[in-house]
Structure 1
Amino acid sequence: MPEEVGLAADAARAREALLTRAFSAASAADHALPAPVMRAFQSAIRGRAGLDVIAAEIDSAVANQQALALNTPAGALSFSRFLQVKTQDIKQVVAEAVADCTSDAAVLRSQRPCYPATAPSATAFGSPLLGGGFVPRGPITLCIQPGGTSGSWRCSVLYPDLHVRVYWSFTDDSGGSLP
């Protein structure tokens, strides 16, 4: 088939070349995304495991109040120090999770230019990308069940105007969107 000629054909070839470069950059970025997402997931798992260990230690201490002699000044002081140490342990676990999160967030932000938005268009999940962020068409509900809260779910609702409401529920109100 002979090569098409003319202004329209030139414009089509230029647009095709532009799209090819954009898709190539997006494809390369797609290959870079799983690693930081997996690290963030593993960091969350480590943090939760660390907090679960601390919670178990505190629960064990509270269950053994008789052995700790909390009704004496020395026992109360000892338990107070124990709780201070556990507070520091919690702060350390959170600080480590924040550090992991910060570095992975920087990697993900660096990939943002690889996904150019040439023209606003609605996606299957909401409205166009505006100002580099996703704006949902309707509220999005995410629920998690923190360790040690059997039967209680902490739910967060992200509204289209980007405000968030948090509440506790007896059910997973996210519609199964999270594991």
Structure 2
Amino acid sequence: MLLRDNRSTGHPEFLMGRRLQTLRFMPGFLVFPGGRVEDNEDPKLPILTALRECHEETGWHLSNCSEELPRYKEIARAITPKESPIRFDTRFYMMDPATFTSNGNVDGELEAIGWYDPHAENTRQWLADITAAVMQQALHHHRLSTALVDTGPVPLFTYGTEGLEISWTDSRTTS
């Protein structure tokens, strides 16, 4: 995910898009760009999938195509329950948006792509609880200036009998 401070308001903003109403999973919700690891991608390097998906879905990509990745941080992981008809195991990463540029080319999976203030009502009303929880985690690191500093275990969000549950895991060693 890309998180920046708005130049005029100083408020934090996330790069997000609205899922098309025709999609089966979370139609109309605001989401971060993301998707599944393709067959030709290394499942041990999900950050590369995240970068590809960000580019495909939003047009934002790394502005420097060097061999070395810029600093990034995994800030959360979310796994749907086994009984869910649509499954996902998602990792959420933060990177500095200054290392990205936009070419405007998108794949059409998301609409209304832009920078969203997490505190604005027109943003909050379109967030799933997991998206809001991950935003809070990102904002916490952003406020503490630890956004790109490895601070150890990350929250693992799952759904249980009481709704959204959080445990802590060092996902660097968990597949």
TM-score norm. by structure 2 comes to: 0.25
**Higher helix fraction (1 or 2):** 1
**Rg: which structure is higher?**
1
Instruction: Point out which structure has higher relative CO (alpha carbons under 8 A, 6+ apart).
Output: 2
TM-score norm. by structure 1 comes to: 0.24
